[in-house]
Structure 1
Amino acid sequence: MARKPTPEILQRQIVARSRLLRIEAVDLRFSNGVERQFERMQSSGRGAVMIVPFVDADTLMLVREYAAGLHNYQLGFPKGLIDPGETPEQAANRELKEEIGFGAQQLIPLKSVTMAPQFFSATMHIFIARDLYPEQLEGDEPEPLERVPWLLSKAQALLDQEDFTEARSIAALLMTLRKLERDSN
């Protein structure tokens, strides 16, 4: 099947800006001649990381932290932005040290994913972390994160957990389970 050409960008303009976000209006012309304006949030371009850390062969470490968008506490995997000059692997190891107090000897890339790509231009790199060692770095969270160990054998109970709702954490868990199943065959 032939690839469709991407629409022609006629004009781009920042229509709103905050300390964290920039919203851009993009005027496009599609290959069939139709013109439309889309709005999208611009990312920093650096991307982000999420890590599925194994503290042993059957125990994952999650964190519970405040989620401003939902105004409640959510359970998920350690994650954060890639700092300028960092590789995704370096950022993953730094985030582990900041959020759960461990670094990883081994980082296994799972997949790079996007979230709402029609409106948001960010990429998140998901890793499995193994062979953890204690090392704490100071993070930028406003309060200490609650560390929550979870048995991998209880993955369904995690999926049923009412505060485990973030799609990227759910995808990371399911990709981890699938990888482990493939690796064992």
Structure 2
Amino acid sequence: MRVFKGRKFEVLVERKSLPNGDETEIEFIHHRGSAVVVPMLSSEEVVVIRQYRPVVGKWLYEFPAGTVEEGESPVQTAIRELKEETGYNAEELQQLIAFYPSPGVSDELMYVFLARRLRVGESKPEKHELIEVNKLNINELYGMLNRGLLNDAKTILALFLLRSKM
């Protein structure tokens, strides 16, 4: 049963069968999925956005990301979000992982992409997005993490994935 339907997700209540044969009623967020992009300018420099997040009432440092739109693939989402939020276009895009950020309450599948060979253009954030684009040294970003200045889970995971690719 649908309880709520918004632009990005809907809240459902459903009965689900468990592997042991029992049934349970669950409430969860059905989400089309999302894509995160790690934009690499060089082997030592990345593009990071600083974005105001009204839900938590804070400015957060993040890699560009967004919700998969109807009829769009995660790759298309990554390309669109990178352009909208930073102005960059990537000539090379590699999927690093797909993961469930909060499987206890949502079926959202989040895809993380590494973007290389970037060309700069003009950013076009959505009207409700307050975004600053930054170029940061990767070691500086790790330092921010160690000082507690990175609070966004998808960005932290992507940063650790990036370390394993270097």
Q: Would the TM-score normalized by the shorter structure come out above 0.5? A: yes
From 84, 89, 93, give the equivalent of 1:107. 93
8 A Cα contact 2:87 2:120, kept in partner: yes
The unaligned stretches of length 5 or more in structure 1 are 1-12, 181-185
Identity score, percent: 26
Larger radius of gyration: 1
1:36 maps to a residue whose letter is T
TM-score normalized with structure 1 length: 0.80
TM-score normalized with structure 2 length: 0.89
From 19, 34, 38, give the equivalent of 2:22. 34
How far residue 26 of structure 1 moved from its aligned partner, in angstroms, is 1.4
Counterparts of residues 24-173 of structure 1 (less than 5 Å): 24-43=12-31, 45=32, 47-173=33-159
2:109 maps to a residue whose letter is T
8 A Cα contact 2:97 2:112, kept in partner: yes
2:156 maps to a residue whose letter is I
The unaligned stretches of length 5 or more in structure 2 are none
Superposed CA RMSD in Å reads: 1.9
User: How far apart, CA to CA, are the structure 2 residues paired with 1:38 and 1:143?
Assistant: 32
User: How far apart, CA to CA, are the structure 1 residues paired with 2:56 and 2:91?
Assistant: 34
SS in 2 for 1:36: strand
Q: Which moved more, 1:53-62 or 1:151-160?
A: 151-160
SS in 2 for 1:176: helix
Q: Which moved more, 1:78-87 or 1:108-117?
A: 78-87
